[in-house]
Structure 1
Amino acid sequence: METTTRPLRIAAAVELASLIVLLSNLATAHWPAVSSAMGPVHGCAYLFVIIATVRRPGAGGQVKLLSLIPGIGGLLVLRRLSAPARG
């Protein structure tokens, strides 16, 4: 059974984009509406990346730890999962 990485790719992109929006808002105008809208989006995407990585068959301990890095963890997981097996 082949497991697809599409949901993980989407969640990783949303996680990174929402973090960029949150940090940009913090560095510039700091509008509370942006923070209250994007904060939960980022949190949900972050948790989705972690859960999807942990549930993925063949994801080793290092890959699971990479998923815990906020913002780029999902992208690092995807990169590690698509890399050819070293052996």
Structure 2
Amino acid sequence: MRPVLRVLEVLSVLELASILILLVNLATVHVDGVASVLGPVHGALFLAVAVTALLARGLLARTRWMALIPVAGGILTLINVRREARR
């Protein structure tokens, strides 16, 4: 697997985990401290996925554009990265 695909895979998993934790927190106990910490972390991960996808060489256009979709970008990028790794 190319290094850029591995980086995108890790960042996408972390972004997906952060949004899931934020949504579970919102739907259940709604602890303000969790949102205060994970909100900016999720934002930074989203930007890291988007910038990495846009600047990386050799990625399909689909992978680049899917990385820019808020909330679903992490999982869509992860799916596309795994498809690209197989080809």
TM over 0.5: yes
- Where in structure 1 do 4 or more consecutive aligned residues deviate above 2 Å? none
In 2, Cα distance between equivalents of 1:45 and 1:77: 17
> 1:34-80: per-residue Cα shift (whole Å, max 9, x none)?
00111111111111111111111112322211112334133133123
Partner of 1:83: 86
- Structure with greater contact order relative to length (CA < 8 Å, sep ≥ 6): 2
In 2, Cα distance between equivalents of 1:19 and 1:35: 10
- TM norm structure 1: 0.81
Greater helix content: 2
In 2, Cα distance between equivalents of 1:60 and 1:16: 21
Unaligned runs of 5+ in 2: none
Aligned residues: CA RMSD: 1.8
Give the number of aligned pairs: 83
Partner of 1:8: 8
Q: Name the larger-Rg structure.
A: 1
Partner of 1:65: 65
Q: Tell me which amino acid in the other structure corresponds to 2:35.
A: S
Task: Quote how far apart the aligned CAs of 1:3 are.
Answer: 4.6
- TM norm structure 2: 0.81
